[in-house]
Amino acid sequence: MRTRLIKTDGLVQQVLEAGYEDPNAPLVLLIHGFPELGLSWRAQVEALSQGGYHVLAPDMRGYGGTDKPRGVEAYSILHLVGDMVDLVRALEKPSCIVVGHDWGGPVAWHCALLRPDLFTAVAGLSVPFQPRRPKGPPTQAMAAISERAGLGDLYINRFQAPDAHLALEADPVTTLRKLFWAFDGATPASKRSTGFMPRGVSLLDSVDDAATLPPWMSEAHFAEYVEAFAAGGFDGPLNWYRALDLNWSLTAFAQNQRILQPALFIVGEDDPVRHYAGAAEAGLKDWVPNLTRSVVVPGAGHWIQQERANTVNDLLLEFLAQIAKAR
């Protein structure tokens, strides 16, 4: 396993990589979410590379050791998919299997949607494919749903504020500790975040001050996150959320298009994302007709590839073996 920099079109990306010794090894790309880094996939990089795959886990645009362009317009879904296309091209691979967790899920799904010639199979963790809503921009719809249900504000809508990153940057240790704890399966259900918060209460204030590190996260592992976000900040990562309506405007050409490649979906039973993405999870087969399995992992929360590393490794290796057998 090594960390290195890869220069692509207009971007330098830091990647965690293993299995690169065999030039014929199939490429698997692992895309992290918020607030994570490529190192969140360490267990999968190790397991999949030992299974005979060339595995790459980049720090995504705006994160960690990868470049951090300024401005919301630099974080559209077309940029994020383009970064992944550039990585595959830089490695001179003819195709790739793409896996995404959290925000990496939408990127992985759109890699498969927009470049089926290059991304021949896809796995989404925690976040199902959510097709473009033809009736209007997503942030308006999310705000209206929250209002009707009396749930308060969804954190995604709060992140739209141009200065939303400042509160997170004020104390990265507290921010990261609270976010990891609030969405973890081991956290008591009454303390776990739903993603919604009362009006006038900030995201961090909605999480118990007694929050501790999840049982799967060591102090040394946590320190790596703190170092990265203390240095790089949260503005770039939040620009992914701020670009949601921009993404809607840019992807009209893909309206009603389905993902036809073999696919896998994995979600934790107690993942708070299911509170606001449950309908998409239930209807996933309609938009991804070649979904081979949809697996709900008992007792797991949002950080599933780290909470249940062995389970996720086994499911991914089984999925990859099925793909290889079908070829």
Asked if 129 contacts 287 with a C-beta cutoff of 8 angstroms, the reply is yes
Is 117 considered catalytic here?
no
Burial of 96 per CB tally in 10 Å (0-12, 13-18, 19+): buried
Asked if 14 contacts 4 with a C-beta cutoff of 8 angstroms, the reply is yes
Give the position of tokens 């793409």: 98
Rounded to the nearest 5°, which phi and psi values hold at 146?
-60, -40
DSSP H helices in the chain = 42-50, 77-90, 104-114, 138-149, 155-158, 164-169, 172-182, 219-232, 235-242, 244-250, 274-282, 284-287, 304-307, 309-326
102, 153, 184, 235: the active-site residue: 102
- CA 97 – CA 26 distance, rounded (Å): 8
Strand 263-268 to 2-8 pairing: unpaired
Token pair for residue 246?
Answer: 């921009």
Residue type, 84: M
Is 102 considered catalytic here?
yes
Cα pseudo-dihedral 255, 257, 262, 264, rounded to 10: 30
Q: Which residues, in sequence order, are bridge partners of residue 266? A: 125, 295
What are the residue numbers of the active site?
A: 102, 302
